[in-house]
Amino acid sequence: MTPNEEWGLAGKVAIVTGGGAAGDGIGNGRAACILLARAGAHVLVVDRDLPLAERTVAMIQGEGGSAAAVSYDVTESAQCAAMVADAVSRWGRLDCLDNNVGIGSKGSVVDETEENWARVMRVNVDTMFLTCKHAIPAMIRTAGGGAIVNISSISALRPRGLTAYSVSKGAVIALSQAMAVDHGPDGIRVNCVFPGPVYTPMVYERGMTEQARDTRRRASVLGREGTGWDIGSAVRFLLSEQARFITGQVLGVDGGATLVGPSRAS
């Protein structure tokens, strides 16, 4: 693999959480891992399910890229600290973090159980707080700054019966912008991507009819679905030197779905 120098990522070190995917499917995290490696970064592929991370690494190494697969529980502070230390110990620095971990939930506040509400917040929000809490000092110490992308969701801006999920993803946007203000003086850029209707293993593994897929296609004003590559490409851009003057922004990668009403974009 010959790194694409235009990104300014050659020799840099990136952590991608949620970097695995079922089979050879291309989820948001796996796409980001592969694209960052193609740009010359060393990538620590983190997933709770180690074989899924190992498959991502095999795909990267098959192209001549540099990556390692690890399993850490990013809901635990000590595990996040160990994950950051792992990346630094392997490659001597930390420059980039892509936070992809998340789970879904359906129902209103009346329907939702207190236990599941807490679980959704723990997985979707606390993980990003904890990974950044440990990654930011390492970025400052080893690289003099860095870049972070947190993955939110279109549901944060267009609630549709997924209340706990929508609230958690809205919190991701607020967290990203607050960290951009807090750590800009440290040379840390923090941005957020919200995907729209993208067709990834997390979506199709749960089962999806062609009618449901067609509804998702029509949700986009472009009339097509997005893929993990679309999200991964946005992440690579925001982590790269091409985005050196961009921080605190929320980038929709949704085919224009937020431009139309819920009746078209349900």
Domain parsing of the chain, residue ranges? 7-254
User: Side chain identity at 20, as an amino acid letter?
Assistant: G
What kind of architecture, by CATH, is found in domain 7-254? 3-Layer(aba) Sandwich (3.40)
pLDDT in tens, 55-69: 999 999 999 999 999
Active site residue 204: no
Lowest mean pLDDT among 2-16, 90-104, 107-121, 174-188: 2-16
- What's the chain's average pLDDT? 93
Instruction: Report the distance separating Cα 263 and Cα 167, nearest Å.
Output: 21
- Express each pLDDT in 220-229 by its tens digit: 899 888 999 9
The pLDDT assigned to 126 comes to: 98
**141 vs 69: CA distance, rounded Å:** 24
pLDDT tops 60 at residue 266? no
Assign 213 a pLDDT band (cuts: 50, 70, 90).
confident
Q: Taking the chain, what is the end-to-end CA distance rounded to the nearest angstrom?
A: 41
Q: How confident is the model at residue 1 (pLDDT cuts 50, 70, 90)?
A: low
Q: How confident is the model at residue 239 (pLDDT cuts 50, 70, 90)?
A: very high
pLDDT in tens, 18-61: 999 988 999 999 999 999 999 999 999 999 999 999 999 999 99
Q: Tokens at residue 205, please?
A: 């593994």
Identify the pLDDT of residue 217: 82
**Interatomic CA distance for residues 54 and 61, integer angstroms:** 10
Q: pLDDT higher for 116 or 202? A: 116
| Model confidence, pTM | 0.94
170-176: average pLDDT: 98
